[in-house]
């Protein structure tokens, strides 16, 4: 008896294994944090390669199915060709400047999980809602494990990242509370698109975990998801009235998350904005402004491999926008924004605005497409949104 192989089912299984691989990959960092220290790059045994191996499995499996999968249309091929040519020119430019090939290749890491977007697009286009919900079911187990561990860490882990009014900032199975908060808010975002109403309580559980993290970004993102869920329930007139209070709420949230009781640390100035001073110092010509001056120089990979000041123009980029600007110039920033705006215009799902706002917000905080597992989760959701864009709303239902 032959076993029927179904692409969507197997891809969701592989994606789940990819997320599970994160537990193994980050184990050395987590073990070090329990001992009250942060693992250096030299001490890291390289378990992260397990994640890369799982990604390769997904890519090869997708290639195996390529003849049966929907073919890209002319417009999609045109966009792909343009982006590929642009990246190729940027790589050649970096090699011409004398940088080792590792540097520009590190700049490509923001595209590393685009294959996840593609497979999710296929699942969405085929209207395989059942498998989206199966992935949500797996994420519920993931959320449960992270919250249980997080609560335990609040009261028992060394306060290496500071102490909130509850206790030590938890880090779950990740290398920092910030990544812990980003992972949980990304889970909450995916669950917000679920068609099974009873799943929504798990979005609130994930949001609770994000609040525990002491991450300012996670706190604001979690509040954003909560407020948006309430906002979509009101009529348009009420929505407009609520929007008038948005600046007040935003300012209140900003000062709330800066308090030591919430963030677990004393914050002076705004470090996320200060990086722009160093970035703009590296813009020495109009060409640098248009196309960037150093593809990959702001990558975490380059900082890990070579140190934080090995190359001229190198810097720590805690922002996707900063990274894209330095690597691909203002043209790259515009293309990134256009892709998000196009997603918003293309999709009819009421939660797409939340997704785009979430990505724009976190793109100012992290190089999110280089941060695991948020890059996998958000790429999956982005592909699903695009795949579902032309599906009739009337058939987008599933029994609980």
Domain positions in the chain: 7-391
For range 77-97, the mean pLDDT: 86
Q: How far apart are CA 380 and CA 385, in angstroms?
A: 9
Three-class DSSP labels, 118-147: HHHHHHHHCCCHHHHHHHHHHHHHHHHHHH
Tell me how far apart the 2 most distant CA atoms of the chain are, in Å: 67
- List Cβ neighbours of 258 (8 Å cut-off, separation of 6 or more): 216, 267
- The reported pLDDT for the residue numbered 44 is 64
Six-digit token pair at 263? 């963030």
**Tens digits of residue pLDDT in 3-32:** 445 888 888 999 999 888 877 878 888 888
Q: How far apart are CA 167 and CA 163, in angstroms?
A: 5
Higher pLDDT, 214 or 41: 214
Burial of 4 (0-12, 13-18, 19+ CB in 10 A): exposed
Higher pLDDT, 238 or 343: 343
Please provide residue 148's backbone torsions phi and psi, each rounded to the nearest 5 degrees: -60, -45
Radius of gyration of the chain from its Cα atoms, rounded to whole angstroms: 21
CA atoms within 13 A on the CB side of 155: 5
Contact 351, 193 (CB under 8 A): yes
Q: How far apart are CA 91 and CA 311, in angstroms?
A: 16
Strand partners, 163: 168
Contact 18, 54 (CB under 8 A): yes
For range 156-169, the mean pLDDT: 86
Block residue for tokens 């785009």 = 356
Contact 68, 7 (CB under 8 A): yes
Over the chain, what is the mean pLDDT? 82
For range 197-214, the mean pLDDT: 90
Give the pLDDT band of residue 159 (cuts 50, 70, 90).
confident
**Tens digits of residue pLDDT in 234-287:** 776 666 776 777 777 777 777 777 777 776 666 665 666 666 767 777 777 888
Instruction: Please state the pTM of the whole predicted model.
Output: 0.88
Q: How far apart are CA 191 and CA 342, in angstroms?
A: 22
Contact 398, 198 (CB under 8 A): no
- Alpha carbon 290 to chain centroid distance? 26
CA atoms within 13 A on the CB side of 289: 5
Block residue for tokens 């001229």 = 312
| Cα separation values, 294 from 43, 76, 100, 256, 353, Å | 28, 28, 12, 37, 32
For range 211-220, the mean pLDDT: 87
Six-digit token pair at 324? 């894209």
């Amino acid at each position: 008896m032959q076993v029927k192989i179904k692409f969507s089912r197997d891809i969701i299984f592989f994606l789940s294994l990819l997320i599970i691989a994160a537990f193994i990959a980050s184990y050395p960092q987590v073990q070090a944090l329990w001992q009250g220290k942060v693992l250096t790059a030299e001490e890291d045994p390289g378990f992260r390669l397990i994640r890369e191996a799982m990604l390769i499995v997904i890519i090869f499996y997708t290639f195996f199915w390529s003849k049966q999968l929907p073919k890209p249309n002319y417009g999609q091929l045109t966009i792909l060709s343009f982006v590929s040519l642009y990246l190729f020119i940027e790589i050649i430019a970096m090699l011409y400047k004398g940088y080792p090939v590792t540097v520009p290749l590190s700049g490509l890491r923001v595209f590393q999980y685009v294959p996840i977007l593609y497979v999710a697009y296929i699942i969405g286009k085929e209207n395989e809602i059942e498998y989206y919900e199966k992935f949500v079911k797996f994420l519920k187990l993931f959320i449960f494990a992270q919250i249980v561990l997080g609560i335990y860490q609040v009261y028992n882990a060394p306060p290496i990242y500071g102490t909130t009014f509850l206790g030590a900032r938890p880090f779950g199975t990740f290398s920092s509370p910030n990544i812990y908060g980003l992972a949980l808010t990304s889970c909450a975002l995916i669950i917000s698109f679920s068609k099974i109403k009873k799943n929504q309580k798990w979005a609130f559980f994930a949001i609770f975990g994000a609040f525990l993290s002491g991450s300012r970004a996670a706190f604001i993102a979690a509040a954003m998801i909560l407020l948006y869920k309430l906002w979509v329930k009101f009529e348009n007139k009420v929505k407009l009235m609520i929007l008038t209070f948005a600046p007040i709420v935003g300012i209140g949230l900003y000062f709330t998350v800066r308090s030591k009781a919430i963030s677990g640390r004393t914050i002076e100035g705004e470090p996320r904005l200060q990086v722009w001073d160093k970035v703009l110092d590296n813009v020495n010509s109009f060409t640098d402004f248009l196309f960037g001056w150093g593809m990959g120089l702001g990558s975490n990979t380059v900082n890990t491999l070579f140190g934080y000041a090995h190359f001229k123009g190198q810097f720590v980029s805690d922002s996707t926008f900063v990274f894209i600007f330095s690597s691909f110039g203002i043209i790259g920033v515009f293309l990134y924004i256009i892709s998000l705006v196009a997603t918003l215009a293309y999709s009819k799902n009421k939660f797409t605005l939340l997704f785009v706002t979430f990505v724009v917000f976190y793109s100012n905080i992290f190089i999110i497409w280089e941060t695991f597992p948020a890059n996998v989760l958000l790429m999956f959701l982005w592909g699903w949104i695009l795949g579902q864009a032309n599906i009739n709303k009337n058939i987008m239902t599933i029994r609980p």
